[in-house]
Each structure stands twice: as structure tokens, then as C-alpha cells.
Structure 1
Amino acid sequence: MNLTNITIIGGGACGISAFIELFLQLRIAKSHREVSITIIEENKEVGKGLAFGTKQPGHILNTQADLMGIHFTEPQHFSDWLIEHDARIGSEVVDNQGENRAFTTRRLYGDYLKEQFEHYFALARNEGMDVQVIHASAKSVAREEPRFTIHLSGNMQHSCDFLVLSPGTPVADNYPDLNDKENYFGSPWPSEPILERIPKDADVAILGSSLSAVDALMTLTDNDYKGQITCYSPDGLMPRVQPADQAAMVDCKFLTLRNLHEIQRKELRNPTVKEIFRLFRKEAEAYAGGKIDWKATARTDKPAEKLLAEDIEIAKNGGDALSNIPYSLRYESSEMWKWLDESEKLKFKKWFGAYWAVNRHCMPLVNAERVNKLFTSNQLQVVPGLKEVVFDDSKNSFVLTHGDGNESVEKFVINATGPASAVKLMKSELMQNLAKDGLIEPEDAGGIKINTETMQVITGKSAYPNFYAVGHITNGLLLDVNAVWFNVKTIGNLSRHLISQIIGNPS
């Protein structure tokens, strides 16, 4: 009997979650012996990609444990796992706010992912399902109606009936001219090349000042680097600090789905960014108990070290309106984002994108205090206004232009600008070939075009019936695609839709 094959490209958090949910629903429907599942993963271990394969103790999850569960509708599963395995985790749990709200190392989370995958992979085989892992890189995909042929490294090919694109968070290739330079590191991960090739007393330049840059800083400080560290970024903004007590949620009264739907109902149109910002201001002032001097909340042109010290004290006192409201809206904000027209999404990214990022995606307090020590010891500085980075052969160094034409010369450069939003900037042979061959279509706001309800890939005006995508590559049409809980939620929708195409609507 020819089995219907589902292939998942990528064995990271999203790929594992998709595999588990597809297996569970097929097994419950008693159709698991009619379907095979293949996972294509380039790393030796499933679940141990760039982010969660790290060995550095300072690489910490930026989300508390009770939102990191890999199973659909069970966001607390990881925190339950931590409690169950308390004896073995030791110092891997940091900034502990109680076991349900702990922050852990990424390497421990990688262990959790690997364990969950291995358990359900073995269970699927024991239940008689045909499952396999191909350890190779997916290079390109050919559509051969009604199937796909995936071209893999090592001159291998693999064909499937349904394809789930889950390649993980794409590294940005925003400085392609530097890729062949010996002392240029295109990503903070993996950390091994950085530790092997940068002397511990060398000065180091980090491109960016976001969470990726914090990871680079932790790599250097974990390994006792003594040289001067300089973060260069366009806006110079560092992430804010997660409140010490994140249980304090804001019960929003103004910026709500109800009020945004009322605009749709009365005006027969989607809300605008300006309307959403007005509602946010009302919400923030209600939370603060009075008027806010909004000009004073501007963070650009203010020293990063001064802002960080202030943010640490704010976090220790439970946070403020600008950090707590976005955090409290994490479940609603993605739906709000869907209700914005594409032109409004672009306005939001232009006007508020940087501020949303630093307030919504904050760093854990333990890392903030370590970064603060780098500032107070004068080992770290943040330079805003980065405009250009080039390699000067005569100096055998990198020249960074910033501010009003100022230049800095650096010997070692780590690109920590964060994941690529636009497809054209994704350092992925697969993504570039998919775009070139017309199997995916870039979305102006970032990522690729998809049906946000079913996660089917869209080109032109049509959705592929058997081609799905999940994770960061959908970042334009969806908002919280760097959050495990959100991706797991979309995977639930994807799995139900995909299985319904194979066996109809399961009872």
C-alpha cells in the first residue's frame, strides 16, 4: 500500500511540535498506518538547532517556562516537566520566580525538545506508524503535481504528498560582502567559532543591541573576555527588562478586541495604527493613574547604560505601563495584527516597531544585571546611528560608519542584528530557491504569504492545498512568531486542516 507522506522540513521547536500533533491526531483517528511522516533536519540531533543547541550557560530563554510547552493547548507543559525533573536540572534554572514562572537555559530547553521528540517518535513506531528522520539540508523544492520533490544535500531527493515548511529562525544575511572575512561572524550562534577565533583580550564589535546582541554579550562574559565590547546599532535601543513579578497582568479596558471590532462594525473598515495608538495611550494612562509625558518616554538619543539601570529598578518594582501592557496583550495582539491592512502594518513597523520590540520582548532580569555590570566596569558601550560596515583591506579591519559620519575601526565583528524579516535577507539557500522558483511569495510586511487560519502557503491569490509554513518565516502576516506558545497554537490549526484533507473531518 502506498502511504500518504507528510514531510516536515526542520526539526526545531516548530517541527517537533508539528510532528507530535500530527501523529497524535492521526493515531486518535486510527489513520496512522495509512500515513508516513518524514522529518528533514540538518543537525545530528533533532531539537538541537542554533538557538537550543547552545552550550553557553548565559543563553537564557527570554520567556518564562509556563509559556514554553511544546504541546498544543498545553503551554505549561515545560514548567510541569521542570517540576518533574527537578533533581536533574540544578543551575539550569535561573531567575526563578517559582517553578511555574522560571527562566531556564536554552540548552536545558533543547534537552526538553529532544526528549519530547524521542518519546513520541518511538511511540509512533511502536504504534505501527512509518516515521523517519533524514539528516540533510533541504536545498530546493520542485512541485510535481500533485506532489513535491525535495532536493537535499548529498545529491539526495525525497518526494512527499504534503509539505510543512518549518526551517526555524532565519539568520540575517544583511552584510553579504563580509561573509568571506575571517574575523566576521554572521551570527552569535553557534558560539564555538567565536570562542575559537577571538582572543580573550581582544576588542569586539557587535552589530545590533537587541536580544541577539545580549546573547553575544553572554557568550563573551561567560568565557571571561576582557577586551572592550561595543554594540553598534541603528537606534541604539536595548531590550527592556522583564518585571520581577510577571504575574501582575493588566486587565485592559481600552485596547481590546471588542473595541477594535466595534470600529470594524461601525466604520466598515479595519482599525488604523493611529486609532490603536490612541487606545494604547488611554490604556497606559489608566494603568499609570494619570497623564503620561509621552515625549519623556522617548528612548532614542539617551545613553543605553542609563536606560538599563532605570529599567532594572522598574522591573524590580513590577514593571510599568509600557512593558506590562504589551506583555498582557500577548494573546490578543496577534489577532489585532491580523486586523490591520498591509499598509497599516508597514506604518506600525516604521513608527513603532523598535519600541514594540524593546517593550514586548524584554530580557530576563538576571541577564540585565550582568549587562549592567559590563556598563559599570566600562567594558561595554552602545553606539547608535550605525550606517555602514565595510572591510578595509589596507587596515585588515572593519570600518563602521555611525552618527554624523564618525568611523570606528574594529578587528572582530559579530553580527547580532537578529533574525531576518524580509525573505531576500534570509541566509537560507532553501528560502532563496523557493522564492526564485515561485513556490513562495514574499509579503511586503515581512516573511511569506500564507493563509493565517490554515497556515497554507499562498502564491498569487491561491493557497497550495498541500503546502504549509510555520514559524518566523510567517512574520509579516502574523505577529508573535518568535514565541513558542503562539507557534504551537498555529500548528494546532495547521494539523487539523492538513489531516482533514487526508481523512476528512475527524470525529
Structure 2
Amino acid sequence: MQSHDIAIIGGGAAGALVAIQLLARADASTRIVLIEPGDTLAQGVAYSTRQPEHLLNVPTGKMSAFAGQPDDFLAFIAARAPRIPRDTLAATYATRREYGLYLQDRLQQAIAAARTRLDHVAARVLDLDRDADGTVLTLDSGATLRATRVVLAAGNTPRPLPARGASALAAPRRVDAWDYAGVAAIPAHADVCIVGTGLSMVDAILTLAANGHRGRIHLLSRHALLPLAHTTAPGSVEVDIDGLLAMDLRARVRQLRRLARAATAQGLPWQAVMERLRPHGQALWRSLPEHEQRRFLRHVVRYWDVHRHRVAPEVHARMQALRDSGQLQLHRGRLDMVAAGQRCVQVGARRADGSFLNLDVETVINATGLELRIQAMRNPLLEALVGRGLVRPGPHGIGLASAPDGALIDADGRPQPALRVIGSLRIGNLWETIAVPELRVQAEQIAVDLLGQA
């Protein structure tokens, strides 16, 4: 059985950031393995897209993989576009493909400069068990390997289509928004229904538009809210963060509305208020008692998301043009059923007033977002961890419970310093834990802690 000091489970962006930080600090005796079924590291689903229309949702100047080197991604892009002024590049929105290449490049640099090596095992971890000597990982190949410390950097899990008949609807009549090739293969004349109106919906629409789509595009979601745009207008506002943290949820919402109205009255963009809140997202979440967090999840989260998770101005303009032309139609309702007929897919939804919406389309695209509930993820490794009592679901049943340093908390409430978690699985404790600014901080902290460095 192979033995390693540190095993990283997952080779997407989060796993790659942990590997980079470990390689920068580890000595020659430290054995590190990264377990990722794919051949390509450092990209995951989000950054593996090859579609040039899929842009980052954050300007280039704010996307460095390293907190201590805030211009690192900007330098990478500037080297590829030397004739464009850096100030101009900093405000642009690079493609997600470029960001994936950036992470790959920085991982390769870290491997080349390291005193130790990074082993890549192309497999999927199905089980994890603890014994007196550490951790034993069982792979889908049947092989096992041992590690003293483990970092769980599992990627995002798409939510299944929430409708009767969904399991019987197969490709090409049902396509996941993250199946970029599947979306690109939809015939240009086809009428399409996209279920969900978050950021994965935006990807699907941009791909359809880039391919010259002529058919109708129906959008369906319970609240019919679309992502809002970043602004190009300069401006900053003052927000009393400490005062906001002391408020209950209702008072916070009212205060943010007042601040947005005040900013607009002064000729400043309302987005400036959200930018001021951005570094404090975790504190805002943790300062709410659990019953207030539940209220947020029930009543506020969808409105928060469209203001917090904004898109590039050019992306928003493209979507608005499709709406203005009538090709893109927005419907508010709860998906009830999908059924494949001989020539089309029937989509049925219930509106808020109790009436029914019926659509006949050729393809349904599932853009319902990420599955946050551990029990619904259908992940063999997570099921095994819960079954063994090595982990427990996070607050409200979303993500995994973790300590402030990322140590997983077992069924008895005890932190396990040798088992760490990074990224989306910390959402119940942190809420803001998916974007690069949070991932880069978590990755560095985990590397320092696991290597015993101050």
C-alpha cells in the first residue's frame, strides 16, 4: 500500500491551490499525492470550459490565486496581451478558459520549484477510514493508499432536475448546463427551456447565442430573478460594518436598501454597497443566529444572490438584447413535470397564483445550480464519511461541519486536525466559501497548519 504524508482529494481549482501552497513550503521528505480522476488538473468544471463567451464574473485585477500577490493573474493576462495597458486589463473580464490555464501554469511552476514532488493518482476516492496509523483511502480502481493527513477538496455537485419524469428524460432532450458540449450541440432551430436563472443559466444562454441560436429560449424559475450586472462607473461608499453585524436580518435588509438608495441619490452605483460588503460575507453569515440564517435561506437568499453574484456588463447587455428581441422569455413558476413526447418535451410548471404553465420544447437544460445538502449529493465518499461518523452535515444540513481552521467535525462534535476541508463543502459554516478570494486564504491556512509552520 502506497503511503503519503498528505493526500488531496480533488484536483480542481481548490485542490490545485492547496497543492501549490503545500509545494511552496514542504521539504524533500514530505510526500504529497493529489487524487483526481481526470488527466487535467487545476480546472474543475468551471474552468474547463473552452467556450470563449464564458467569462469570469470578477474583473481580472481581483482574481489572483494568491492573497499576498494581488496582481498575479493580471500579470499573467498582461503577458498574453502586452499591447493593452495594465489598467485597462485590470477592469476587463477574462475568459474562464484563461483562468484555468493560469491555474495550470501556477501549479506547474510550483511543481518545478518544489523541494518535493506531487504525485497524481488518476482515480476517484470511494471510501475513507481512520486507524491508529492515519487514514486509508479506497479508490474506484480497488487500490488503497494511506495518508497521514487528508484535504477534502471535492468539487461542486449539480442539483438534479426537480420534476416528475426527470429521471426518464435522457440526452439530448435533457442537458445539464455544465455539459458544455451538450449545450453547444443543441440545434439552432430548437425551442429550449432552461430551468433555473442563476449563473449556470447565463453560461447556457451565451453558448446558444454564440452558436446563432434561432429557437425560442424559455427561462423558468420560482422567483424569475436574473443576475444583475457589475458597473463600470467608479465610486465607493461608507458602510458601518460593525453596526450592520449587530443588526438582525430584517434590519440589515432595510439598512442595505437605504444605503443603495442613498448611493444612487448621490450619483453612485448601488453596486458600490455590495463591493463594500464583499470582504465581510463570512462575518455577516456567522453573526446571524441559526434561526436568522434559516430565514435568510428561506426568504432572502435569491435576492441576495442576484445582487452579490453579478455578471460582466457585456454579458448582461447580451442577455438583455435577447429579452428585448423576444427570443428570450422569462417565466415565474415552480417546475412540476417533464415528459418526452414523440416530437417534443412537455414542461409543466405551477405559477404562484395556482395556474399552470405548459411549454412544448425540444430540449430542457438543467441550470438549477449546486446541490448544497450532503444527504442529496449521492457522493459515495461523502456517504461513507457520514456513515462512519467521521463527518456530520453542516448547519441547516448544507455542506460539512468544520472548525474555523477547516478541520472536519465528526459525529460527536470533535474537530479532526488531520482531516481538512476546503471550498464549497464549508458553506454551512461560512456561506462565502466558493469564490477564489476565499479559496486562496483557506488553501494557505491549510498548508501552513498541516506542515506545522507558523
Q: TM-score, normalised by structure 1?
A: 0.81
Please, which of 75, 78, 100 is the counterpart of residue 80 of structure 1?
75
Indicate the residue corresponding to 1:17 in structure 2. 17
Please, which of 90, 102, 117 is the counterpart of residue 100 of structure 1?
90
Q: Secondary structure at the match of 2:31?
A: strand
Amino acid at match of 1:463: P
Q: Is the 8 A contact 1:6 1:160 kept in 2?
A: yes
Please, which of 5, 18, 32 is the counterpart of residue 37 of structure 1?
32
- Percentage of matched positions with identical amino acids: 24
The answer to whether residue 403 in structure 2 is matched with residue 479 in structure 1 is no
Instruction: Report the alpha carbon displacement of residue 480 of structure 1 after superposing the two structures with TM.
Output: 2.0
The answer to whether residue 144 in structure 2 is matched with residue 192 in structure 1 is no
For residues 116-265 of structure 1, the aligned pairs below 5 Å read 116-124=106-114, 127=115, 129-175=116-162, 178-179=166-167, 181-185=170-174, 187-196=176-185, 198-245=186-233, 247-252=234-239, 254=240, 256=241, 258-259=242-243, 263=246
The 1:184–1:43 alpha-carbon spacing in structure 2 relative to 1, beyond 3 Å, is farther
Q: Is the 8 A contact 1:207 1:233 kept in 2?
A: yes
Indicate the residue corresponding to 2:99 in structure 1. 109
The 1:141–1:175 alpha-carbon spacing in structure 2 relative to 1, beyond 3 Å, is farther
Give me the whole-angstrom Cα distance separating, in 2, the residues matched to 1:84 and 1:46: 22
The 1:380–1:396 alpha-carbon spacing in structure 2 relative to 1, beyond 3 Å, is closer
Instruction: Report the alpha carbon displacement of residue 213 of structure 1 after superposing the two structures with TM.
Output: 0.3
Give me the whole-angstrom Cα distance separating, in 2, the residues matched to 1:240 and 1:409: 28
Instruction: Report the alpha carbon displacement of residue 64 of structure 1 after superposing the two structures with TM.
Output: 1.1
Q: Is the 8 A contact 1:171 1:427 kept in 2?
A: no
How far does the alpha carbon of each residue in 1:408-464 deviate from its partner, in whole angstroms, 9 at most, with x for none?
23331111111122223335443344334433211243211111x201111231111
Give me the whole-angstrom Cα distance separating, in 2, the residues matched to 1:496 and 1:466: 13
Indicate the residue corresponding to 1:415 in structure 2. 366
Amino acid at match of 1:217: I
Indicate the residue corresponding to 1:440 in structure 2. 391
Give me the whole-angstrom Cα distance separating, in 1, the residues matched to 2:111 and 2:132: 29
Amino acid at match of 2:37: E
The 1:134–1:249 alpha-carbon spacing in structure 2 relative to 1, beyond 3 Å, is farther
Amino acid at match of 1:434: L
The answer to whether residue 3 in structure 2 is matched with residue 8 in structure 1 is no
The 1:260–1:371 alpha-carbon spacing in structure 2 relative to 1, beyond 3 Å, is closer
Give me the whole-angstrom Cα distance separating, in 2, the residues matched to 1:233 and 1:194: 19
Please, which of 455, 479, 485 is the counterpart of residue 406 of structure 2?
455
Instruction: Report the alpha carbon displacement of residue 104 of structure 1 after superposing the two structures with TM.
Output: 0.6
Q: TM-score, normalised by structure 2?
A: 0.90
The answer to whether residue 266 in structure 2 is matched with residue 276 in structure 1 is no
Which residues of structure 2 form unaligned runs of 5+?
none
Q: Is the 8 A contact 1:149 1:159 kept in 2?
A: yes
Give me the whole-angstrom Cα distance separating, in 1, the residues matched to 2:346 and 2:97: 32
Give me the whole-angstrom Cα distance separating, in 2, the residues matched to 1:75 and 1:400: 48
How far does the alpha carbon of each residue in 1:69-89 deviate from its partner, in whole angstroms, 9 at most, with x for none?
11243333111221233259x
Q: Is the 8 A contact 2:395 2:401 kept in 1?
A: no
Give me the whole-angstrom Cα distance separating, in 2, the residues matched to 1:16 and 1:174: 30
The answer to whether residue 360 in structure 2 is matched with residue 360 in structure 1 is no
Q: Is the 8 A contact 2:173 2:345 kept in 1?
A: no
Q: Is the 8 A contact 1:21 1:72 kept in 2?
A: no
Instruction: Report the alpha carbon displacement of residue 132 of structure 1 after superposing the two structures with TM.
Output: 0.5
Indicate the residue corresponding to 2:336 in structure 1. 388
Amino acid at match of 1:476: G
Give me the whole-angstrom Cα distance separating, in 2, the residues matched to 1:186 and 1:438: 35
The answer to whether residue 330 in structure 2 is matched with residue 372 in structure 1 is no
The 1:371–1:318 alpha-carbon spacing in structure 2 relative to 1, beyond 3 Å, is farther
Give me the whole-angstrom Cα distance separating, in 2, the residues matched to 1:115 and 1:339: 38
Amino acid at match of 1:384: R
Q: Is the 8 A contact 1:173 1:425 kept in 2?
A: no
Give me the whole-angstrom Cα distance separating, in 2, the residues matched to 1:348 and 1:130: 45
Amino acid at match of 1:480: E
How far does the alpha carbon of each residue in 1:272-301 deviate from its partner, in whole angstroms, 9 at most, with x for none?
2124334434433443449xxxxxxxxxxx
Please, which of 418, 424, 443 is the counterpart of residue 375 of structure 2?
424
Give me the whole-angstrom Cα distance separating, in 2, the residues matched to 1:104 and 1:133: 28
Q: Is the 8 A contact 2:191 2:217 kept in 1?
A: yes
Please, which of 418, 421, 432 is the counterpart of residue 466 of structure 1?
418
The 1:34–1:179 alpha-carbon spacing in structure 2 relative to 1, beyond 3 Å, is farther
Q: Is the 8 A contact 1:10 1:168 kept in 2?
A: yes
The answer to whether residue 35 in structure 2 is matched with residue 46 in structure 1 is no
The 1:97–1:236 alpha-carbon spacing in structure 2 relative to 1, beyond 3 Å, is farther
For residues 327-338 of structure 1, the aligned pairs below 5 Å read 327-338=275-286
Q: Is the 8 A contact 1:57 1:222 kept in 2?
A: no
Instruction: Report the alpha carbon displacement of residue 179 of structure 1 after superposing the two structures with TM.
Output: 4.4
Q: Secondary structure at the match of 1:38?
A: strand
Give me the whole-angstrom Cα distance separating, in 2, the residues matched to 1:423 and 1:174: 17
Give me the whole-angstrom Cα distance separating, in 1, the residues matched to 2:361 and 2:199: 22
How far does the alpha carbon of each residue in 1:375-434 deviate from its partner, in whole angstroms, 9 at most, with x for none?
122111111112323335677624322312222233311111111222233354433443
